[in-house]
Chain A
């Protein structure tokens, strides 16, 4: 069993829909939780990060962490075609920067105009 589980999709939704992506994990040492967005044939880029449990909102994006359930989610409101990408959750235990990140397998999302 992988340390981080993520439904690979693919997921297709119409423009304007609310999208919810999620990951579960098994390592209780994880404290830093990230969502990366990866466009086709590009490198991953950080979308949002959260430390420990709680919510964080940035524009149309909301990240939630529930450490008691070992569950994290990313909500995208008013989805746009430009949101079409693969979304990767990532986690680390001790540091936001200089530490290995453990990734989920990524969810491929397509927003249909």
Chain B
């Protein structure tokens, strides 16, 4: 059973489009995260939710909007996609005192 899953795995879209990435975890964790990994493998946190409440919001353009319908799901909606949004987006989850478990990533390519 996959602990943290993401859909889609690959996403190719044109500039200006709006797209969503979905994440689900079956670990019973309270906290979920979105990270962005650029082409140089640098991994940087974007958002974190704890029990559906936003607790970390790094300096991210407001074109990015996370939504947590319940504590097992965290989605990421991106408006007006730009070339610089091309990256791999990772979802992760954790509980206090436990490691963060990462999903397989969504490779977004904006053309």
Contacts and interface: CB of A to CB of B under 8 A. Distances in A.
Given A98-B31, A105-B41, A106-B43, A43 B95 contact: no
B42 A43 contact: no
B74 to A, nearest CB: 14
Contacts, number: 63
B96 A98 contact: yes
A96 B97 contact: yes
Interface string B53-65: 0001010000000
A86 B102 CA distance: 15
A97 B104 contact: no
Interface of A: 8, 34, 38, 41-46, 49, 86, 88, 95-98, 100-103, 105-106, 108
Contacts of B104: 42-43
A45 B90 CA distance: 12
B110 interface: no
A4 to B, nearest CB: 10
A5 to B, nearest CB: 11
Contacts of B31: 97-98
